[in-house]
Amino acid sequence: MNIQGISPVAGVLGRRGLQALLVAALVGTLSFFLMRMLPGDAAYRIAAGRYGYDLVSAAAAEAVRVELGLDQPWYLALVGWWAQLAEFDLGTSLVTGHAIADDIAHQLGHTLLLAFCAMALSLLIGPALGILAGLRPGGAIDRITLLGATVLRAFPPFVLGILLILGLSVHLGYLPAAGHGEATSVVLPALTLALGLAAGSCRIARDAFSQVVNSPYYAFGRTKGLSDRQVLLRHGLRNAAVPIVAYLGMQMVFIIEGVVILETLFAWPGIGHALIHAIFWRDVPMIQGCVLVFALLFVTLNTLVDLACLALDPRRRH
């Protein structure tokens, strides 16, 4: 149906695909220079990571240097770097010596679980409250959610996380404070993230919904003779969902950033946790792998949001 002959889905995929390539190039380049510009002796850092700092010695560092070929000239390293990246080979961790792809594949599951739970929770909380608030703008629910959302947004996620641990875990013992392995472990970090997300989506939902309710087509639905419930279901929800889903794309940044910070706080073994560790140890291939996977994850999620928007809103398809 499209005039230009390119289907909108292909358009989204193409644009996002290009974006993914660009970001991979950006991250790869930055990582390479990072590797080259590391202050101090990389071999020493790696040795300390491997053997513990009590055992780091010149001999250990020398062993690492030879093993990893850190003494080769930079142009060879650059070529190798790019060749590896192009083959989706993320290399091996400077610290553990594991294949990074394996490590990340394992961590990605945890990160996705956390992100998914957070998103699901936030969609349960945010839009529901937003719709209640939007049905009666200026009403009690509207004012309470506005206050709640504003204050919640002003709270750094890690502070919120600590408060939730103190409240729900230390004082009440409902949930494990941190860690993983138990089914309930995901609840606290997901809830922390979800509250922040819901604070945003709640207001967006409220605005979207009050806009829909005040729209001519909503009024037309009513004057056509539909009941309030029928208008809400047939003309309210889908139209209000369009900006909410579009906003979800903007919330992806919040999710990714939140995951990085909260995984560290909650000892959740995802990529965010791994990234902070890798930064700490200057494990550049690992940093590159983590950032790359995050960026690609981010692009992928945004692609899904784009496609969802296309599905929801026919205007975008033409």
Partner 1 sequence: MRGRHNPSRRRFTTQLALGGLAAGLGLPRPVIAHPNGDHAHDPLPATNQIPGVLSIVGPWELTGLDPSRAGFMFSRMEIAETLFDAADDGSPLPGLAARWTQSADGREWLLQLRPQARFHDGSPVSAADVVHALNLARTKPGILGLVPIERIDAHQDQVRIRLKHAFTALPAALAHSSTQILAPASYDPDGVVRGVIGSGPFRLTHLQPPQRFEVERFAGWDGPPPAIERATYLAVGRGETRALMAESGQADLVFGLDPASLQRLQGHPTLQVESVVIPRTIYLKLNAGHRWLTDPRARQAISLALQRSGIAHAVLRERSLAASQLFPPTLDDWHVPALPPLHHDLAQARQLLRELGWHTDAQGMLFRSDGAQTEVFSLNLRTFPDRPELPIVATAVQEQLRQLGIRVTVSLGNSSDIPAGHRDGSLELALGARNFAVAPDPLLTLMQDFGPSGGDWGAMGWHDPALDATLDALQRTRDASARQHLRTQAAQILHQALPVIPVAWYRHSAALHPRVNSAGLDPLERSYRLSRMQWSR
Partner 2 sequence: MNPASESSLPAALSIQPKPVRAYFGSRSVGAALLVLVAAFALFGPTLSGSDPVAQDLENFLAAPDAANPLGTDHLGRSMLARLAHAAQLSLWLALLSVASALIPGAALGILAAWRGGWVERVSVVIADSVLALPGLLLVLLLATFAPGAFWPLYLGLSLSFWVEYFRVVRARSHILLASPQIESARLLGFGPLYIVRRHLWPELAPMLGTLMSFSAATAVLAMAALGFVGVGIRPPTPELGVMMIELLPYYQEAPWLIAAPIGLLTLTVLGLALVGRDRSSMQ
Partner 3 sequence: MSLAFQVDELQVRAGHNVLIDALSLSLKAGEALTLLGESGAGKSLLAQAIMGNLPSGLRASGQVRVGQHTSPAGEGAKRRPLWGRQIGLLPQEPWLALDPTMRVRDQVAETHALVTAVRWPEARTRAAHDLDAIGLAHARDHYPHQISGGMAQRVAFAAVHAGAAPLLIVDEPTKGLDAALRDDVVALLQQTLAEGGAVLTITHDVAVARALGGSIAVMQQGQIVEQGDAASVLNAPAHAYTRALLAAEPARWPDRPPTQIGQCLIQGRKLGKRFGHRLLFEQLDIHIHAGERLAIQGGSGSGKTTLGNILLGLIAPDHGEVLRAPGLPRQGLQKLYQDPAAAFAPRLSLGQALRDLIRLHRLDGRELGPLLTRLRLSPSLLERLPGQVSGGELQRIALARLLLLKPAVIFADEPTSRLDPLTQQETLTLLADTAETHGCALVLVTHDPDIATRLTSTQLQMP
Cα–Cα distance for residue pair 318/315, rounded to 1 Å: 6
Nearer to partner 3, 96 or 211 (CB): 211
Q: CA nearest 245: which of 148, 126, 109? A: 126
Nearer to partner 2, 23 or 99 (CB): 23
Q: What are 99's strand-pairing partners? A: 92
Q: Judged by CB under 8 A, which stretch of 59-67, 195-203, 216-224, 280-288 contacts partner 3?
A: 216-224
Q: Judged by CB under 8 A, which stretch of 119-127, 144-152, 170-178, 194-202 contacts partner 1?
A: 170-178
Cα–Cα distance for residue pair 225/280, rounded to 1 Å: 64
DSSP 8-state secondary structure symbol assigned to residue 186:
G
Range 265-300 burial, b when 16+ CB lie within 10 A, else e: bbebbbbbbbbbbbbebbbbbbbbbbbbbbbebbbe
Q: Print the binding letters for residues 287-316 with partner 3: x by CB under 8 A, - otherwise.
A: -------------------------xxxx-
Is residue 64 classed exposed, middle or buried when 0-12, 13-18 and 19+ CB atoms within 10 A define those classes? buried
Q: What are 92's strand-pairing partners? A: 99
Q: By the 8 A CB rule, do 257 and 199 touch? A: no
By CB under 8 A, residue 3 contacts partner 3: yes
3-state secondary structure of 92: strand
Nearer to partner 1, 49 or 126 (CB): 49
Token pair recorded at residue 244: 């909410």
We find the least distance from the C-beta atom of residue 301 to partner 3, in angstroms, to be 23
By CB under 8 A, residue 226 contacts partner 3: yes
Q: By the 8 A CB rule, do 242 and 254 touch? A: no
Q: Print the binding letters for residues 60-99 with partner 2: x by CB under 8 A, - otherwise.
A: ----------------------------------------
Question: 53 touches which of partner 2, partner 3, partner 1, none (CB within 5 to 8 A by kind)?
Answer: partner 1
Amino acid at the residue 176: P
By CB under 8 A, residue 167 contacts partner 2: no
Nearer to partner 3, 261 or 308 (CB): 308
Cα–Cα distance for residue pair 204/129, rounded to 1 Å: 11
We find the least distance from the C-beta atom of residue 140 to partner 2, in angstroms, to be 11
Return phi, psi of residue 92, to 5°: -120, 150
Amino acid at the residue 90: L
By CB under 8 A, residue 162 contacts partner 2: yes
Question: 224 touches which of partner 1, partner 3, partner 2, none (CB within 5 to 8 A by kind)?
Answer: partner 3
By CB under 8 A, residue 252 contacts partner 2: yes
Q: Return all residues near 50 (Cβ < 8 A) that are at least 6 apart.
A: 60, 64, 95, 96, 97
List residues binding partner 1 (CB under 8 A).
40-41, 44-61, 63, 95-98, 106, 159, 162-163, 165-182, 184, 264-267, 269, 273, 276-277, 280-282
List residues binding partner 3 (CB under 8 A).
3, 215-217, 219-227, 230, 234-235, 238-239, 242, 312-315, 318
List residues binding partner 2 (CB under 8 A).
15, 18-20, 22-23, 25-27, 30-31, 34, 37, 39, 137-138, 142-143, 146-147, 150-151, 153-159, 162, 166, 203-204, 207, 210, 250, 252-253, 256-257, 260-261, 264-265, 275-276, 279-280, 282, 284, 287, 291, 294-295, 298-299
